[in-house]
Structure formats: C-alpha cells, structure tokens
C-alpha cells in the first residue's frame, strides 16, 4: 500500500479503498437541513452514515481491511473485540468475503448488538466485565487460531476505508467546515486525508464527549494520553486512548478538537429525531451538539456534519425523548400549593385544562409535604406547547392567587 511516510495514510490509499468497497457499502445521503440552518445561521449539511449498512460508517474500514487479506489469512478467519458498531462492521464484512469471524464482546454488551452481530454471521464470545477484558481474550484467541485481528481505528487500511466518506462529501458540496466525531480517531483521520487533499481550505473540526476526552487531551498535551474511564451517552466514541496512526494524522491535518457535554449530546439526539426524523446514536449526534454548545461561530458558513451512526438502544431513545422534552420545557413537573379543602384539586386541574395543557400524571404524598398541615402540595406532570406556553400557564395560576413552581 502506497502511503505518505510522515502520516502512514495518503490520498491514494483512500482512492484505492473507494474502489474496493464500492460494491459493498452504500453511498449515504448528504442532506441539507433547512431547520438546522435557520437555527444556527449557517448552511448545515449532514452526511447520514446512520443509514449505512450495519447502521454506521464502520463497514467501510473493516471491509477494506478484510478484502486485502491473503488467501491464507482468509482461511484462518478474522477476529476483533468490540461492544458496538465495529463488531457489526467486521461481522458483515467477513460474511461478504466468505470467511469466518469471531467477535469478543463484554458480558454486559447490549443484547440487541449481540444479536445483530450474530445475525451478520459472526461467532460471538462474551467475556469479562470490561472492554479491556474482551480485548485480552480476543488477542489470546487470535494467537491460538492464527486469525487476523481487525483493529477498529489504528490500522492504515481501516483509516483509508473511513476516508471514503470525505471523497463522497467533496463530490456533493464544497464546505467551509466539516465537523466529525472523534473516538479512537480512525474516522476523522481518514476523512482529513481525503478532504485536505481535495479541499485544503475546508477546516476539519473534531468533537468528542467531555466525559471521555482522550483525543482532546492528547492534542492539548502533544502526545497520546489515556483518559480515565467515565460513562457517556456517546459510547461509540468512548475510547480511552487514541490510535497512534490516527493521532499523527489528526495533529497534522485537523484544525481543532472540541468536547461537548452529556446534555448537549442528548439535546442533539432529540433534535435530530424531531427535526430531521433521523435516529442517531450519541456519537453521531456529537457534531450537532458542538453547534448547540456555541463554542464555534460558524455564522454564514457552509458546514458539514458527519452523522456517524444510528445504533441506539430503544430504551435509551425513550429517555432521550423525555429529557429533550424537559430541556425544551414542553414537559414540566410542577408543584402546586393548595388549600386542603374539597374541590381545590379540581379547580387547579380545570385551570390547567383551560390553559391548554395536558396532565400526564399526578402524585401527592402527604408524608413529604412541608409547612402547614392545612395545605397540600401535589406534583403534576404536564405537557405544553413550548416555553412560552408554560410561562403563560404559571402566570394564570399566580393571577388566581395560587402558588405554583416548576420542580
């Protein structure tokens, strides 16, 4: 494989990968979002890799790597360790190449992801409580069976495969900025190699969860560092330590790496679902979260967002929707302060109904009430149109001399 010596991956490698994976992956849409463009005052376009086969970009790199193996290597099969998207990408890529695959996953891995990986043709082995445990077991099996280990991000062929996203974006639209999620760095490094060759003026920005800022901290310190383990909704980019190859490329070609909070990622997932009708996982929502954070001023610019994947547990989706509605003050828990007399609760509920709100639930626990025993303080979960509607309802209660507060 021909590569630029200083970086390890060159544009010619991305071009070669494009030819290899062309019949196996989908050329995903690059859609303009009028809603987000109005919201942020710039022209926002989204590369929807959540619509890719297996639900994420990972298929590109794994297929490019596996297709390059010799006949002897293929006869022994491939192995990897992963709890998410990489597992499914390797499983399907191996199946399409008609070779066997083993994926070692932690015992607590999502049942849905385990089932999906099996359905794509892999032999799934559950081992250990942590990813590091699964990785150690995968390395043991790889040596025992002479299999080829497929790394999720620290491999030139994998990086080149991910870089094909950059080629596709350039074919669609010239950009001022391209914002990409960062975990181990395989995705952004491949894209940067392609984009900085095709469109040197496009600024590449990485974004990762503040709860696991390994790449941002590595850039700050000028060397690869390991982050402390922490939980994040963006599990697809929750990588403790960047890949050495990817780090070298990012330092050279990427213009900045930012972090975003859990609330910003959650709100981005919510908005992508509501405004764009796209089910997106936390990692894929991180670029939009950066726009929400206000850390970068992109007013009037042409901006691309790499929506890297859409594999998210439906139980988490339910929580994201509820949190998003609360953040946008469309659902609120209010506590009433009412006299303990017949009809007081009915009058309060009528006032809520007359104000155009919907009561979702009501709870009163006298044991938790404070102050006078002649009053009670029920908690009422209500649904309203927006923040202004909620404020108008609160004012209506106060005009009637009733105390009300948002919990």
**Which 3-state string (H, E, C) describes 28-62?**
CCEEEEHHHHHHHCCEEEEEEHHHCHHHECHHHHH
58 is catalytic: yes
Rounded to an integer, what distance in angstroms lies between the CA atom of residue 290 and that of residue 206? 9
Helix (H, G, I), strand (E, B) or coil at 322: helix
Among 18, 33, 58, 302, the active-site one is 58
65 is catalytic: no
Write the DSSP string, 85-135: HHHHHHHHHHHHTT--EEEEE-TTS-HHHHHHHHHTT-EEEE--SSHHHHH
CB contact at 8 A, 324 and 100 = no
CB contact at 8 A, 75 and 336 = no
Rounded to an integer, what distance in angstroms lies between the CA atom of residue 45 and that of residue 111? 33
CB contact at 8 A, 262 and 211 = yes
Question: Do the bridges between strand 379-383 and strand 358-363 make them parallel or antiparallel, or are there none, so unpaired?
Answer: antiparallel
**111 burial level (CB within 10 Å; 0-12, 13-18, 19+):** exposed
Question: Do the bridges between strand 43-48 and strand 302-307 make them parallel or antiparallel, or are there none, so unpaired?
Answer: parallel
Helix (H, G, I), strand (E, B) or coil at 180: strand
Kindly list the distances between the CA atom of residue 106 and the CA atoms of 2, 82, 132, in Å, as whole numbers in the listed order. Answer: 36, 8, 9
Rounded to an integer, what distance in angstroms lies between the CA atom of residue 21 and that of residue 97? 11
Of 232, 227, 306, 216, nearest to 265 by C-alpha is 232
Neighbours of 244 (CB within 10 A): 11
Catalytically active residues are 58, 308
């Amino acid at each position: 494989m021909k590569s630029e010596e200083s970086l390890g991956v060159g544009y010619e490698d991305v071009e070669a990968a494009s030819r290899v994976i062309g019949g196996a992956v989908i050329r995903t849409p690059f859609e303009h979002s009028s809603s987000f463009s109005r919201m942020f005052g710039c022209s926002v376009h989204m590369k929807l890799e959540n619509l890719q086969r297996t639900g994420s970009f990972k298929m590109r790199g794994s297929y490019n790597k596996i297709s390059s193996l010799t006949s002897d290597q293929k006869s022994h099969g491939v192995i990897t360790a992963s709890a998410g998207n990489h597992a499914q990408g390797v499983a399907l890529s191996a199946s399409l190449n008609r070779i066997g695959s083993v994926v070692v996953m932690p015992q607590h891995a999502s049942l849905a992801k385990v089932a999906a990986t099996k359905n794509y043709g892999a032999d799934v082995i559950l081992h250990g409580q942590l990813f590091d445990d699964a990785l150690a077991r995968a390395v043991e099996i790889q040596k025992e069976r002479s299999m080829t280990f497929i790394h999720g991000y620290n491999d030139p062929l994998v990086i080149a495969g991910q870089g094909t996203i950059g080629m596709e974006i350039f074919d669609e639209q010239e950009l001022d900025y391209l914002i990409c999620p960062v975990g181990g760095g395989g995705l952004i490094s491949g894209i940067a190699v392609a984009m900085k060759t095709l469109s040197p003026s496009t600024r590449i920005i990485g974004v990762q969860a503040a709860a696991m800022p390994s790449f941002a901290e590595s850039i700050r310190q000028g060397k690869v560092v390991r982050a402390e383990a922490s939980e994040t909704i963006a599990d697809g980019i929750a990588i403790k330590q960047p890949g050495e190859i990817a780090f070298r490329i990012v330092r050279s070609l990427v213009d900045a790496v930012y972090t975003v909070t859990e609330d910003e990622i959650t709100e981005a997932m919510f908005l992508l679902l509501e405004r764009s009708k796209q089910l997106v996982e936390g990692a894929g929502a991180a670029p939009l979260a950066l726009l929400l954070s206000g850390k970068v001023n992109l007013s009037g610019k042409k901006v691309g967002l790499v929506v890297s994947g859409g594999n998210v547990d439906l139980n988490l989706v339910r929580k994201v929707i509820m949190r998003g509605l609360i953040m946008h003050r469309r659902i609120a828990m209010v506590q009433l302060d009412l006299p303990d007399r017949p009809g007081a609760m009915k009058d309060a509920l009528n006032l809520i109904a007359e104000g155009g709100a919907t009561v979702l639930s009501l709870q009163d626990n006298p044991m938790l009430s404070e102050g006078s025993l002649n009053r009670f303080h029920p908690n009422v979960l209500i649904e309203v149109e927006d923040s202004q509607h909620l404020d108008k309802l609160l004012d209506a209660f106060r005009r009637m001399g009733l105390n009300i507060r948002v919990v």
